[in-house]
Amino acid sequence: MMLRGGEAGLVSAEFVAEAEGAASSNRQRDLPRPLKEATAWLEAYFEGRELQRPKLHASGTAFQIAVWDQLLQVPYGQTVTYQDLADRLHTAPRAIGGAVGRNPLALFIPCHRVVGSRGQLTGYAWGLERKQWLLDHERSALVIL
């Protein structure tokens, strides 16, 4: 993953190709504390453990931030529907989808946990195959714990 941020917190997290990630992995020596914490959080996530989320500093509209705050409430290994989020925020599911799709912090703000009204996988900026993998990973980690 490509992480960007500074002392104010993590501002973006994006999936990158393996070669691209390997090329930038040796730039980790003098990272600001929030980026070091983000790296540790990712390692724990992929090992099936949860750590306290690092300091996040996402930029967005007030509505987007409200949606992203709701996503932070979805527990590891669980999902929520666009309709459920829309009901909580008194808006339309399409508006929720727009905000979810603009999430700048993949995994850290768990937009992969949002599913369609019947539990079906729907749009994910990083691909439905990756979304399915992440959901399966979280569910299997819960079984092990």
Are 70 and 125 members of one domain? yes
Of 111, 114, 134, 135, which is the active-site residue? 111
Q: pLDDT of 23-63, one tens digit each?
A: 455 455 678 899 999 999 999 999 988 888 999 999 999 99
CATH number at residue 78: 1.10.10.10
What percentage of the chain exceeds 90 in pLDDT? 75
Is residue 72 one of the residues assigned to a domain? yes
Please, how many CA atoms are within 13 Å of residue 128, restricted to the half-sphere of its CB? 6
pTM: 0.87
In a domain, 8, yes or no: yes
Does a structural domain hold residue 76? yes
Q: What is the predicted pLDDT for the residue at 19? A: 46
142 vs 60, residue with greater confidence: 60
Given a contact cutoff of 8 angstroms between Cβ atoms, the answer to whether 131 and 112 are in contact is yes
Residue written as token pair 């941020």 = 5
| Same structural domain, 136 and 67 | yes
Q: Does position 73 have pLDDT exceeding 70, yes or no?
A: yes
Residue 13 has phi, psi (to 5 degrees) of: -145, 120
Q: Has residue 57 been placed in a domain?
A: no
User: What's the confidence (pLDDT) of residue 143?
Assistant: 62
Say yes or no: 125 and 66 in one domain: yes
**Integer Cα distance of 66 and 59 in angstroms:** 12
Contact 135, 113 (CB under 8 A): yes
Look at residue 94 and tell me if it is in a domain: yes
What phi, psi does 5 have (nearest 5°)?
170, -170
Residues 74 and 41 in one domain: no
Per-residue pLDDT, averaged over 90-118, amounts to 96
Same-domain status, 6 and 75: no
Q: Give per-residue pLDDT as tens, 110-120.
A: 999 999 999 99
44 is catalytic: no
* 18 or 100, which is more confident: 100
d(Cα 135, Cα 64) in Å, to the nearest integer?
23
Q: Which residue stretches of 2-145 are H helix?
A: 18-24, 33-46, 62-71, 82-89, 93-101, 128-144
Question: Same domain for 83 and 42?
Answer: no
Which residues form the domain of 93?
62-144
